[in-house]
């Protein structure tokens, strides 16, 4: 596959932005070229323009998902950015434990390590009697990573550094051909609702949450897209709800209706209704 022409890069850039908000800036031509070359060869296509038309023509959406998977990176891990889980344990969950239903959303959950870490942290805080009050939604645009998340199978090395007792309480050790792997126990997998969701599409049908995690997702979006998305997330937060983003991200330069708490942590003001707007 030869290097991309300017027109081909523009076509793939417009398709990615329109379909799932990905902001492919100039300078990413080599990355796009490398990541799509194998798929184009499999399809017997000679140009990126042909590939763009193939994606558009595929009514199943499978080719678009292949494109998404090729152009984005699903890097995650248990207890990634552990400050957020310490906050959940120490400041967020204890007050909520005295209430009724607790709703938490992991948006952009990838292969599941984030929502499972949320679940296990909540189980430690709430205990066996109250864990049933937790409703945990985990969404991603990719059905491929959602299948892995629902399966809950990981290399046992991924458990290194977890709190004492987590491995025994929440995981099964693989045997036979699964030697070297672990799996989240079925009773814990059943406590997470995994669902496909493209964040560029409407999600106003979702309930309001006390906590929304959307970490290391908005790095793929431009400022206007980030601003619209944060406003829509804010609308899905209860008053006083928490919004957690990646530490490599920030809301500087976009208008939003959230109060800054600390790096990568924001709250919806108590008594706030629909999403407001303020300078960050």
Report the catalytic residues: 35, 140
At residue 267, φ and ψ (nearest 5 deg) are -135, 145
Q: Centre a 10 Å sphere on the Cβ of residue 84 and count the other Cβ atoms it contains.
A: 25
d(C-alpha 154, C-alpha 247), whole Å:
25
Q: What is the residue whose two structure tokens read 């491995």?
A: 167
CA angle, 59 then 139 then 80, to 5°: 135
Q: Give Cα 151 to chain centroid, integer Å.
A: 17
d(C-alpha 188, C-alpha 119), whole Å:
8
Pairing of strands 181-184, 171-173: antiparallel
Asked whether 266 and 251 are in contact (CB, 8 A), the reply is: yes
Burial class (CB in 10 A: 0-12, 13-18, 19+), 235: middle
Max CA distance (Å), the chain: 61
d(C-alpha 229, C-alpha 251), whole Å:
11
Nearest to 234 by CA among 250, 249, 256: 256
At residue 194, φ and ψ (nearest 5 deg) are -95, 135
* Sheet-wide strand order for 181-184: 153-155, 181-184, 171-173
């Amino acid at each position: 596959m030869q290097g991309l022409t300017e027109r081909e890069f523009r076509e793939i850039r417009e398709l990615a932005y329109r379909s799932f908000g990905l902001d492919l800036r100039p300078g990413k031509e080599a990355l796009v070229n490398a990541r799509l070359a194998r798929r184009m060869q499999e399809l017997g296509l000679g140009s990126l323009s042909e590939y763009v038309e193939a994606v558009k023509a595929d009514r199943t959406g499978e080719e678009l998902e292949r494109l998404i998977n090729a152009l984005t990176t699903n890097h995650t891990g248990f207890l990634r950015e552990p400050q957020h889980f310490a906050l959940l344990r120490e400041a967020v969950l204890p007050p909520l434990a005295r209430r009724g239903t607790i709703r938490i959303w992991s948006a952009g959950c990838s292969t599941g390590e984030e929502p499972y870490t949320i679940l296990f942290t909540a189980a430690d805080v709430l205990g066996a009697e109250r864990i049933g009050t937790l409703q945990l939604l985990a969404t991603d645009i990719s059905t491929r990573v959602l299948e892995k998340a629902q399966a809950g199978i990981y290399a046992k090395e991924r458990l290194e550094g977890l709190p004492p007792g987590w491995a025994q309480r929440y995981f099964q050790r693989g045997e036979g051909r699964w030697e070297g792997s672990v799996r989240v126990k079925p009773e814990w997998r059943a406590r997470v609702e995994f669902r496909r969701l493209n964040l560029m599409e409407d999600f106003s049908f979702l309930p309001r949450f006390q906590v929304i995690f959307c970490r290391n997702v908005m790095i793929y979006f431009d400022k206007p897209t980030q601003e619209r998305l944060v406003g829509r997330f804010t609308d899905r937060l209860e008053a006083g709800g928490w919004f957690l983003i990646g530490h490599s991200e920030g809301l500087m330069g976009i208008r939003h209706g959230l109060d800054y708490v600390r790096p990568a942590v924001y709250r919806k003001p108590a008594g706030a209704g629909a999403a407001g707007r303020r300078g960050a």
